[in-house]
Structure 1
């Protein structure tokens, strides 16, 4: 197992003008203010702006949380706190000189391991890539650095980013801070665990199969799966700029507050450099100021992916609370499409996209196992091979069906502002590293269901590129965190985010994990 802190592989921060600035001592903690360990990023940004704290103090708080809990949680698996302190000192110097780069200047963050950081490994959990070093920052890292945010390290992922857990032979197993015997989710599980454990103020993850959504749900934090295409993926998982942008896959933030999600999203959205001269992004605003202003559809479960009562019950309770608050609530409504057909096409196109990461032997095996793309097989274990071997012609033919699904979603969002549904079928399940993900089961209402059945809640909205914000609404009946997935029309990111912000204002927010009571464990 390689060392968890790898200062030898990271690019060091340097003072742009070489000047040495004497900074004030960190402001002593004020008991009336939020605990710095669990402070949302936007509160930290406000305190920085008012001179009530320093970037250096924020970095040291994150390092203290890492020192206390890394041995149990194993979320930030590549870190360079020395470089982070140097970057924090530069940020504090800019603020002292009146040259702040904006609200994120000095706020510490982490990044999912699959995003490139110049000089650091990008393995995606694959041992064969342990010696890889990225030549440049991913776009999202580049943009956050430009805003002055302070990079702390990289967070753990599953092998090849293909599991709802986060473990691999390079960096080991990440555990849920609320219950160390359970998964934090995946593939952005390290992202959610780091933010939950106070090791980072926010993180950037990716999502093609609920990889941002299930970790937020399992860990009791917030996440935002952005509308497809609004955040460039250059520098993620070997993705490059140009005409081969990944289908379905998106990047987005993980944080301890819904307001943090919007703050970070605004810093990373917009066209990549090559496209910037031709177009700019202008997301439609959301004018609603109260939960009562929203037209809400509630879908607590679905026959194709039954949801455990611990999760569906929490979403039902939320729906009743919204009714009491004056919102227009409709129960168990669905878009007018064949959900089974959508599931099938989603899995095929999902695995067509991820086939890019298969080696030649794995692809040859998929070719040998592939079935009829237009057959009626609905079993994930079979569809994954058929999807990986999909021809370009078959891929193009499936776009007609996807367009029909997208039109149905547009009709649906003519009647509703948001759809509330699960991010996953259960609360965080016990760690299980035996066999392949598609060979495992989970217990839903006392019955075994394929682990991959939960992908229904990923593809239901993800296939058509819709934004989804996950907000904590728990704890659930079993005492574990539970979240709700808030889906809006495509490019309605500010609508799902506004709804999550109003839920947070109504008391549905982040709750510190159990490890907080035993920092020396």
Structure 2
């Protein structure tokens, strides 16, 4: 088994030519250079555009882009900085945004050609906050059709590929987001997550992401003509090349009036860590579980109090059923009448005892209100179990997905595809268990690089903290980064 060797984040992003490596620097390092005027916003933009031109044909992450407008904004910021004007904390930092977020004057399609002419008339809430902080928008990053896949391909924009291994997935639905950040095309991106859509892309691409506590970041302006700031289960969050970057971005993105609690442990040797590297209900490939177990041992050697195979008192099958039903109920509002009628017909034919995703998705789509309220009651019980768990632990480490990045496979529907897990076929949808594990109850979850598979592919770890404890999971990710578990530029650029 190969692992990321301990090294600093600056060493990991350094290249033969510093100008070429600039596009891989973390946000925190870039903001320091911009604020001291050791670097100009225009130079940084040039580095990101060069990365885009170099790898766009292969990676295809930014499917909408306007470098000319971004350059004009970078020029304005440089002039304001030279004049000594007060600027926002992200002034001059180029970023991209998931295609499903509205940008005034740009299309929002969610990968559906039926929405190709859906032009937004105003920015999504997160865009407003980022512009106010001085960040410079470069473009939109690719998504799967209706944001429902662990790959990012659609008939409108085509296929996004993993920068580390172009025959493999970058994840989904924020796959274009992770690929753009990984390849140096943007410094950070903001995606959404209802079914691991921030977490699996970070895991597959070897970067950091943060699924925020439900409601902490507004989702107004996300999806097709949606103004709901806190839709059920779904959340927004940043993707970046450093855990420090995630905290900087979270402080900008958090809705007004939403305070961030101080992290629980003040140092690593005070941290109580539970670890669940796999589960019989949703087995994880040894390429992932072994990396997480090795990471746990490293944390224990560094002084943390680690308990292996630990989890809250929640029955896995009940959690799975509740999560999938509520997930599909939450997304049913985006269906047209014809698709909803088809789901009603299929649900009538379903076996009520069938726990397969293929069945539950239809049942969940057409839930009546009484059934939804019963599930909500179960969710509250799960939330209490998590509260009890976090009386004894500060965080829980677990997988973000069942395997490292898999070979691109666009045949059929996502729920009809299989993964090879420990040499056995597993429905691709089974790994949704690791999404709902924390997502159903709205808990924060940070994904950080944890090592490499035997093939040299990135493997991430999901760090779950208690409700509202976003800075606790981020603090643990920062400690991992200090121990050398950090972003590394794509292999295809380092070869």
Separation of aligned partners in 2, 1:359 and 1:253 = 30
Correspondence list, 1:104-503, <5 A: 104-238=90-224, 240-241=226-227, 245-271=230-256, 280-286=257-263, 288-370=265-347, 375-503=352-480
Residues 233 and 239 of structure 1 are in contact (CA less than 8 Å); yes or no, is this contact kept in structure 2? no
Distance in structure 2 (CA, Å) of the matches to 1:31 and 1:360: 56
User: Residues of 1 paired with 2:253 and 2:434: CA distance?
Assistant: 26
- Structure 2 Cα separation of the partners of residues 488 and 98 of structure 1: 41
What TM-score results when the alignment is normalised by the length of structure 1? 0.90
Cα contact 2:109–2:224 (8 A) shared by 1: no
Q: TM-score, normalised by structure 2?
A: 0.95
2:236 counterpart SS class: strand
* Aligned-pair CA distance for 1:238: 2.7
After TM superposition, give the deviation of residue 103 of structure 1 in Å.
2.4
Q: How much does 1:31 deviate?
A: 6.4
**Structure 2 vs 1, CA of residues 300 and 148 (structure 1 numbering), >3 Å: closer, same or farther?**
same
Query: Quick one: higher RCO (CA 8 Å, sep 6+), 1 or 2?
Result: 2
Displacement of 1:209 after TM fit? 0.2
The alpha-carbon distance between structure 1 residues 391 and 400, as it changes in their structure 2 partners (threshold 3 A), is same
- Cα displacement string for residues 424-467 of structure 1 (whole angstroms, at most 9, x for unaligned residues): 00000000000000000000000000000000000011000000
Tell me how many residue pairs correspond in the alignment: 481
Q: CA RMSD in A?
A: 1.7
Shift of 1:396: 1.6
CA deviation after TM superposition for structure 1 residue 373, in Å: 10
CA distance 1:493–1:205, change in 2 (3 Å):
same
C-alpha distance 255-513 of structure 1, shift in aligned 2 (>3 A) = same
- Aligned residue for 2:5? none
User: CA, structure 1 residues 239+411, in 2 after alignment: closer, same or farther (shift >3 Å)?
Assistant: farther
C-alpha separation between the residues in 2 aligned to 1:98 and 1:362? 56
Q: Give the structure 2 partner of residue 277 of structure 1.
A: none
1:77 Cα deviation from its structure 2 partner: 0.5
Counterpart of 1:449 in 2: which secondary structure? strand
Unaligned runs of 5+ in 2: 1-14
Q: Which runs of 4+ in 1 moved over 6 A?
A: 29-34
2:110/2:224 contact within 8 Å kept? no
Taking the TM superposition and a 5 Å limit, the aligned residue runs for 1:62-81 are: 62-81=48-67
Q: Secondary structure of 1:36's match?
A: helix
Does residue 79 of structure 2 align to residue 102 of structure 1? Answer: no
Inter-partner Cα distance in structure 1 for 2:384 and 2:237: 25
CA pair 476-36 structure 1, distance change in 2 beyond 3 A = same
CA–CA separation in structure 1 for the residues paired with 2:18 and 2:115: 47
SS in 2 for 1:302: coil
Equivalents in 1 of 2:204, 2:453: separation in Å? 11
Describe the superposition over 1:293-351 as per-residue Cα deviations: whole angstroms up to 9, x where unpaired: 21000000001110000000000000111111111000101111211101101000000
Match of residue 10 from structure 2: none
Give 1:18's aligned residue.
Answer: none
In structure 1, distance between residues paired with 2:349 and 2:449: 40
